[in-house]
């Protein structure tokens, strides 16, 4: 529940609009947790954050799992973060059981998924998927 204390909403939810101080604080907390799980990081040009756990074949395409940390102005406590934490728990479980995957596993935190601050919604994942042009 530590993430829920960042940008608390008026009715018990969360308020972490994309690229605000609260969103950045949430991203930093996620980075701390993923770093503790042994991940390395990269940031793409849209601000999408990738936390990587290498596999036996580091050149293989990674398996991606994740979601977003930004919320609607009155987002629920688990809005977005549930997918990110679920992916982080997969990495932790693989580590705990000393399972080495063939491909790398990357936890992705998409930027501006909600579109509450910048339009269009799903901007970070949309550019990644080739749906939107980066410009």
Asked if residues 73 and 8 have their Cβ atoms less than 8 Å apart, the reply is: no
Query: Does 124 map to a domain?
Result: yes
Q: pLDDT confidence of 2, banded at 50, 70, 90? A: confident
Query: Does 31 map to a domain?
Result: yes
Interhelix angle 21-36/81-96, rounded to 10 degrees, is 10
3-class SS at 2?
A: coil
Asked if residues 65 and 107 have their Cβ atoms less than 8 Å apart, the reply is: yes
Residue 28 pLDDT > 80, yes or no? yes
Residue 111 pLDDT > 90, yes or no? yes
Range of 95's domain?
10-128
pLDDT over 90 percentage in the chain: 70
Q: Write the pLDDT tens digit of every residue in 70-81.
A: 988 887 778 888
Q: What is the mean pLDDT of residues 86-102?
A: 98
Query: Does 46 map to a domain?
Result: yes
CATH code where residue 79 lies: 3.40.630.10
- What total of structural domains would you count in the chain? 1
**What's the CA gap between 133 and 11, in Å, rounded?**
36
Lowest mean pLDDT among 4-8, 55-59, 100-104, 107-111: 4-8
pTM: 0.92
What stretch of H or E contains 66?
A: strand 63-68
Query: Does 2 map to a domain?
Result: no
For the record, the structure tokens of 26 come out as 């949430």
Question: How much is the mean pLDDT over the chain?
Answer: 93
């Amino acid at each position: 529940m530590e993430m829920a204390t960042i940008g608390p909403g008026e009715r018990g939810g969360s308020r972490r609009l994309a690229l605000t101080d609260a969103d950045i604080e949430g991203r930093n907390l996620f980075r701390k947790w993923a770093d503790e799980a042994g991940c390395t990081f990269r940031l793409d040009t849209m601000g999408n954050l990738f936390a990587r756990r290498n596999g036996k074949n580091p050149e293989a395409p990674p398996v991606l799992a994740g979601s977003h940390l930004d919320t609607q102005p009155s987002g629920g406590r688990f809005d977005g973060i549930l997918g990110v934490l679920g992916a982080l728990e997969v990495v932790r479980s693989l580590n705990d059981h000393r399972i080495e995957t063939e491909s790398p596993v990357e936890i992705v935190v998409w930027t501006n998924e909600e579109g509450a601050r910048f339009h269009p919604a799903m901007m970070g994942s949309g550019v990644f998927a080739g749906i939107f042009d980066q410009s």
